[in-house]
Amino acid sequence: MPTRRSCSFCGNEIEPGTGKMFIRKDGTVFLFCSHKCQANMLKLGRVPRWTPWTQAFRRAAGRVVAEEAVTVAEEAPAPEALAVQIAIETPKGKDIPSDLSDLIDKRLGPDLSRGDLERQYSDFVASNAFRTSIVGWSKKKHGAKPVTRIDKAEFLAWKDSPEGRRTFKSWLDGRWQEVKGRKREPAEEEEAPAPTARKAKRVASANRPRKRRRPLRPRGRRRRGPDVAERTFVLLKPDAVQRGLIGEIVCRFERRGLKVTALKLVRVSRSLGESYYAEHKGKAFFEPLMTYIAAGPVVAMVLEGDGAVAAVRKMMGKTNSAEAEPGTIRGDLALTIGRNVIHGSDSAESAKREIPLFFKPEEIHAYARIDEAWLRE
């Protein structure tokens, strides 16, 4: 006679030759009577008790069939009496179900030997919880027929049922508490031998609070803060902006190791231009210079680095682009003195005067670049 099994979701019996089986990676086996039950449990994560068309819902609502009500009303006999009255055949040795052995090894292991697995499995089938569960499940399945023997096939069917999975999981949790969750009692701890004088001194030094070590810094000049490095002011004139040279010029400065701490695109007003070129006021080229500097937007920036003023002046080249050496910014990107694309402070004092004309203090950002340690010896 073929074994009848119940659906893991709705609880209805599955007709022989029908239904679906689903096995998870942890070895848990689910049996479903239809695709609907499989989707509700595995994909949608629904609980049978709260789904109206399942037996669990009907039992919770009090709509239990007559034979189930009779079974529940009966007083369960003592586990010792069940053990005497009913013989239970369980697989042994190599016939132990692989899903049970895998769960035992995963929960109580890992890498348990075969002997340890069989010993844990024997403890499970000898437990009162197992006998009470499988006998009650078998009586419920057979109805009014008396149960005197449970064979291996019926054991396997119980193992795959929700009742069997719940009982086995509960036993595994309890055994885990015994095997792994138990803390070592103080009485069980071995008395440690008295430490020698040398060892006691080493332990005392290890327990002594240690001073916090500062992170290692590359050797060289000690830096007390971001304001130690020299700052200089650079202005990319309207012809540099119109010719699309902003990126190339900034890239040259950054490749040299100078750090950009402030940068903005602005238009120079008449009053700002007069303040900026105050030292040229009254000269013949002052008015053409005002017209040129206000002809379009300019890029103002603050560069920071060791010897920033001298480094920028050398990279710019001579004021007259026709005399600037190849490799400098004016020697490579300009032709005449009237359109020499860039201005840079000629001294640290000039930089301190020019920077406040274009930037507020909060617009200049102090930060550390990750390559600064590799720019100095």
Task: Provide the token pair at 57.
Answer: 């819902």
Nearest alpha-carbon partner for 125 in 84, 155, 165: 155
CB atoms near residue 27 (< 10 Å): 16
Inter-axis angle of helices 66-73 and 128-142, nearest 10? 150
Identify residue 207 by its one-letter amino acid code. N
Under DSSP, the state recorded for 47 is -
297: which residues sit within 8 A by CB, 6+ positions away? 238, 241, 265, 266, 267
DSSP for 253-272, please give it.
Answer: HHHHT-EEEEEEEE---HHH
DSSP for 155-190, please give it.
Answer: HHHHHHSHHHHHHHHHHHHHHHHHHTSPPPPGGGSP
- 317 burial type by CB count under 10 A (0-12 exposed, 13-18 middle, 19+ buried): buried
Query: How many Å apart are CA 9 and CA 233, to the nearest integer?
Result: 76
Q: Give ∠ CA 369-373-377 in degrees, rounded to 5.
A: 145
Query: How many Å apart are CA 162 and CA 224, to the nearest integer?
Result: 70
Nearest alpha-carbon partner for 32 in 22, 47, 24, 23: 22
Instruction: Supply φ then ψ for residue 71, to 5 degrees.
Output: -65, -40
Nearest alpha-carbon partner for 129 in 92, 169, 176, 156: 169
Instruction: Provide the annotated active-site residues.
Output: 343
Beta bridge partners of 266: 298
b or e along 61-92 (b: 16 or more beta carbons within 10 Å of the residue's beta carbon)?
Answer: eeeeeeeeeebeeeeeeeeeebeeebebebee
